[in-house]
Amino acid sequence: MIKPHGAETLQPLYVSDDAQRAELTKAAEQLPSVLISSGAAASAVMLASGYFTPLTGYMNIAEATRVAADMKLPNGLFWPVPVMNIVPDEQLTDAVKNADRIALRDPNVDGNPPIAVMQVSAIETLSTEQKQLLIEKTFGTTDPEHPGVPAFADVGNNVLSGPIEVLNYSYFREDFPDTFRTAVEIREDIAARGWDTVVAFQTRNPMHRAHEELCKIAQREVNADGVLIHMLLGKLKPGDIPAAVRDASIRAMVEHYFPENTVSITGYGFDMLYAGPREALLHAVFRQNCGATHFIVGRDHAGAGAYYDKFDAQDIFDEIPADALQIGIFRGDWTVWCNKCNEIVMMRDCPHGDDDYFNISGTKQREILAAGEPLPPEIARPEVAEILMEYYQSEANA
């Protein structure tokens, strides 16, 4: 199986020993604490799960700015996106300032229980220039209308860095018991299935026909034993379809249209960044940590609006060192319904022209559903369309 990124084995930060975790959870209740952002809590879940191997905690300003500027950790290892714990002034109490260890409280769970304990290596303040650099390099823009920028810009300026020990997986294990999986668990599942070559597919949307065919084309072309459909389960921008609905629709599609034991349906606990090219690189890193040998990067991967060109997320893989990642990248082209072929094709493989194509996209799918219209069979399988239509009708009647 492919090795984790920058390590021989995964390095999950979840405290797996029950007695040790119970003791640390009890101690956390007595420690000075901060209520962290949703993004920082999601990063704790990713660190706990082994997805962010080989990181040991949150970055300080020097580490984060180097990652933003050069995509390198202090030891020179490739890393594409800063992983930080930034809090507002009101969280920075005297007790926190003077503590060696603090508890990090979860904003996404009732009562805000501790999600992790952090060894405080440094408490620093971001300058305006440093914050602008981090945002510009990560998102390619500082526009506050970009859905990812405010989540970074508005959390404060105080950077708390240091290694962490994670006590739980926030709400993901309870809310998505059949879908949420750690990188450790996915590797174990791949081994149990006997898969050697695995192609991973990222999604924050229900899978329409183009997504389905893209997975099948990639599986054929790289001769993969199986497809890892790996859906984001964390926070999204307004208008995106909730995780539970996406989960149900994806399971319906796989059950009816993929051969048995060729697909693993899983999810991970992270908030969407909408960072386009940089997020595509991060997606590749943690799919390598999952054990996938190949990763599909499609059109407008992890994008939002018109902030990125349609294939920027593919082109960025040509800009990083050849040895930065072990995982192979499968580059998806425009995937459309061709009236002459009478099937879904990638345009680069089809001899026909624009007049013969019906473009399929998540945006178009949402627009049709929001208008209360049925999804045509060129866009969605009937089993999927039924689930999505039921959701949109319930929203309209709410």
CATH number at residue 142: 3.10.400.10
> Do 122 and 193 contact (CB within 8 A), yes or no?
no
pLDDT tens for 85-96 read 999 999 999 999
pLDDT tens for 346-361 read 888 889 988 888 876 7
Taking 70 as the threshold, does the pLDDT of residue 398 lie above it?
no
CA angle 365, 226, 216 (to 5 degrees): 40
Do both 164 and 186 map to the same domain? no
Comparing C-alpha atoms, which of 296, 278, 139 is closest to residue 210? 296
Do both 217 and 148 map to the same domain? no
Do both 135 and 83 map to the same domain? yes
Give pTM, 2 decimals.
0.94
Residue 122, Cβ neighbours under 10 Å: how many?
13
When divided into structural domains, the chain yields a total of 2
In this structure, which amino acid lies at residue 263?
V
- Is-catalytic flag, 205? yes
At a CB cut-off of 8 Å and minimum separation 6, what does 191 contact?
Answer: 1, 291
What's the whole-number average pLDDT of the chain? 94
In this structure, which amino acid lies at residue 31?
L
Q: Tokens 């109490």 map to which residue?
A: 93
Residue 97, Cβ neighbours under 10 Å: how many?
12
Provide the residue range defining the domain that includes 107: 18-173
Q: Which residues partner with 295 through β-bridges? A: 200, 329
Do both 74 and 220 map to the same domain? no
- Average pLDDT on 16-30 reads 98
Do both 298 and 199 map to the same domain? yes
Taking 80 as the threshold, does the pLDDT of residue 2 lie above it?
yes
Taking 90 as the threshold, does the pLDDT of residue 124 lie above it?
yes
Q: Is residue 1 part of a domain?
A: no
CA angle 232, 226, 189 (to 5 degrees): 70
pLDDT of residue 114: 98
pLDDT tens for 217-258 read 999 999 999 999 999 999 888 878 888 999 999 999 999 999
Q: Which of 152, 173, 194 finishes a domain?
A: 173
Q: Is residue 13 part of a domain?
A: no
Indicate the helix (H) or strand (E) that contains 235: none
Q: Which of 121, 147, 173 finishes a domain?
A: 173
Sign of CA dihedral 291, 287, 228, 211: negative
Taking 90 as the threshold, does the pLDDT of residue 345 lie above it?
no
| CB neighbour class for 58 (10 Å; exposed up to 12, middle 13-18, buried from 19) | buried
Do both 169 and 197 map to the same domain? no
Residue 391, domain CATH: 3.40.50.620
Do both 43 and 153 map to the same domain? yes
Q: Is residue 3 part of a domain?
A: no
- Average pLDDT on 5-28 reads 98
Please give the DSSP secondary-structure letter assigned to residue 307. Answer: S
pLDDT of residue 396: 73
In this structure, which amino acid lies at residue 10?
L
Please identify which of the residues 204, 209, 246, 299 carries the catalytic annotation: 204
Please identify which of the residues 105, 205, 287, 299 carries the catalytic annotation: 205
| CB neighbour class for 177 (10 Å; exposed up to 12, middle 13-18, buried from 19) | exposed
Alpha helices for the chain (secondary structure H): 18-28, 38-49, 61-70, 94-97, 128-139, 149-153, 172-175, 183-193, 209-222, 243-257, 277-290, 312-315, 362-370, 382-397
pLDDT tens for 282-334 read 999 999 999 999 999 998 899 988 999 999 999 999 999 999 999 999 998 87
Determine the Cα–Cα distance for residues 291 and 192; give it in Å rounded to an integer: 12
CA-CA distances (angstroms) from residue 349 to 205, 295, 338?
Answer: 25, 20, 11
Determine the Cα–Cα distance for residues 100 and 181; give it in Å rounded to an integer: 32
Comparing C-alpha atoms, which of 239, 251, 303 is closest to residue 274? 303
pLDDT tens for 134-173 read 999 999 999 999 999 999 999 999 999 999 999 999 999 9
Comparing C-alpha atoms, which of 249, 176, 242, 238 is closest to residue 206? 249
> What are the two backbone dihedrals, phi and then psi, of residue 316, each rounded to the nearest 5 degrees?
-65, -25
pLDDT of residue 187: 98
Structure tokens of 188? 């174990």
Comparing C-alpha atoms, which of 116, 157, 151, 134 is closest to residue 12? 116
Do both 69 and 208 map to the same domain? no
Determine the Cα–Cα distance for residues 378 and 359; give it in Å rounded to an integer: 9
Q: Name the residue with higher pLDDT: 366 or 151.
A: 151
Do both 272 and 200 map to the same domain? yes
Do both 138 and 182 map to the same domain? no
> Do 48 and 36 contact (CB within 8 A), yes or no?
no
Indicate the SS3 state at residue 131.
helix
pLDDT tens for 56-110 read 999 999 999 999 999 999 999 999 999 999 999 999 999 999 999 999 999 999 9
Determine the Cα–Cα distance for residues 310 and 314; give it in Å rounded to an integer: 9
| CB neighbour class for 267 (10 Å; exposed up to 12, middle 13-18, buried from 19) | buried
- Is-catalytic flag, 204? yes
pLDDT of residue 63: 98
Do both 207 and 81 map to the same domain? no
Determine the Cα–Cα distance for residues 229 and 199; give it in Å rounded to an integer: 9
Structure tokens of 169? 């997986």
Identify the band that residue 372 occupies on the pLDDT scale cut at 50, 70 and 90: confident
> Do 119 and 163 contact (CB within 8 A), yes or no?
yes
